[in-house]
Homo-oligomer: A and B are copies of this chain.
């Protein structure tokens, strides 16, 4: 039953405090407890959920879709099939993303090797012919 301050939650989740507030406002983060002074008190469950949000966000899921997923989670166990479908579709997009990134990374490395050769060649010219 540990609780975390907003600052600690920000540190642990990697979201800024402003982002946490924003996520709560749009319904990505529901039912966050308050202390008597009205401050947010995050639980381990909240932290875990933030981990899920981070995963989805880092893999490029749009906020609107994360909201849809969050709503399904709140709706109960009979949305599990739907949730599974959503995550599977997302996973496909992520794989496509990885493929593209890998491919373009190769292009980049090729370009880098080209410049390495070019720079080395001009250094040789400098050494032999003088500037």
Contacts and interface: CB of A to CB of B under 8 A. Distances in A.
Contacts of A112: 84, 87-88, 91
A55 interface: yes
Interface stretch (A1-9, A17-25, A31-39, A98-106): A98-106
Nearest to A110: B55
Most chain B CB within a 10 A radius of its CB, from A54, A80, A95: A80
A55 B108 contact: yes
Measured as residues with beta carbon below 8 angstroms from the partner, the interface class of chain A is 35 or more
This chain's copy number in the assembly: 2
A77 interface: yes
Contacts of A90: 108
A52 to B, nearest CB: 7
A40 interface: no
Given A94-B108, A97-B101, A115 B83 contact: yes
